[in-house]
């Protein structure tokens, strides 16, 4: 390890380049499930502030007329056969077995008309789904990412977006985690190595600018 701050070390190593968001974005809300905001849930994460930011972000996306996707984790059976090793590693995923109300949409984040639900069994929205094909069919070049949790499904989706050719933009106020330490460390790594971490205000201005462009 080098004897300097992490920021200096990253800069010295050559991390921290920038990606320019394109003109054909889509928004994905990662797993906006009741499990994370219901205090009675073992998965309760205290992320209500990011829940409110997601609502605001989606309104901006709707106003701009861009595609909106929502992901959900869903298993058909209590053995979680579709989840394989992930289900075995994380017993808390029982909350997302069909019929468990904790898997329902968080208040204010239910899918709206024309919005696409991606059902997944692993952390990334891309793993084992047709998400990448859907984005490509719409000629999407940029993926705005919000949801839960920063260190898990958000990061996994951002990495797969990068590897699939979409500029990942993680909206800082609209993501959350169980603790500030993994939240901040993963946002730092996403910015350094994977994509762009932007403030909600920046994203709103970006979307407003796109809405004003001729189509």
Q: Give the CATH number of the domain where residue 145 resides.
A: 3.40.50.850
pLDDT, one tens digit per residue, over 196-205 is: 999 999 999 9
Known catalytic membership, residue 195: no
Residue 3 has pLDDT above 80, yes or no: no
- Kindly report the pTM of this predicted structure: 0.94
Tell whether 189 is covered by a domain.
yes
DSSP secondary structure of the chain: --SS-HHHHHHHHT--------SSEEEEEE--BGGGT-TTSTT----HHHHHHHHHHHHHHHHHT--EEEEEE-BSSTT-GGGHHHHHH-GGGGGGBTT-GGGSBPTT-S--TTPEEEEESSSSSSTTSSHHHHHHHTT--EEEEEEE-IIIIIHHHHHHHHHTT-EEEEEEEEEE-SSHHHHHHHHHHHHHHT-EEE-HHHHHHHHHHHHTS--
Catalytic-role residue among 68, 73, 109, 153: 153
Tell whether 160 is covered by a domain.
yes
Tell whether 18 is covered by a domain.
no
Tell whether 206 is covered by a domain.
yes
Tell whether 3 is covered by a domain.
no
**Could you give the number of structural domains in the chain?**
1
pLDDT, one tens digit per residue, over 129-166 is: 999 999 999 999 999 999 999 999 999 999 999 999 99
Tell whether 180 is covered by a domain.
yes
Tell whether 79 is covered by a domain.
yes
Tell whether 15 is covered by a domain.
no
Which domain, by its residues, includes 195?
A: 24-211
């Amino acid at each position: 390890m080098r004897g300097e701050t992490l920021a200096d070390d990253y800069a010295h190593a050559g991390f921290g380049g920038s990606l320019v968001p394109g003109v054909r974005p889509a928004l994905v809300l990662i797993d906006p499930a009741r499990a994370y905001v219901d205090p009675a849930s073992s998965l309760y994460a205290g992320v209500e502030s990011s829940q409110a930011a997601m609502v605001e972000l989606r309104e901006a996306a709707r106003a701009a007329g861009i595609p909106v996707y929502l992901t959900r984790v869903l298993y058909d059976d209590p053995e979680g056969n579709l989840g394989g090793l992930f289900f075995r590693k994380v017993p808390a995923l029982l909350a997302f077995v069909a019929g468990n109300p904790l898997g329902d949409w968080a208040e204010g984040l239910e899918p709206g008309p024309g919005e696409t639900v991606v059902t997944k069994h692993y952390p990334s929205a891309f793993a084992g789904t047709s998400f990448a094909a859907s984005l490509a069919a719409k000629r999407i070049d940029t993926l705005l990412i919000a949801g839960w949790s920063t260190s898990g499904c958000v990061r996994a989706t951002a990495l797969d977006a990068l590897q699939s050719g979409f500029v990942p933009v993680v909206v800082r106020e609209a993501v959350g985690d169980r603790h500030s330490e993994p939240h901040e460390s993963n946002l730092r790594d996403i910015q350094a190595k994977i994509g762009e971490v932007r403030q909600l205000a920046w994203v709103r201005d970006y979307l407003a600018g796109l809405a004003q462009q001729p189509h």
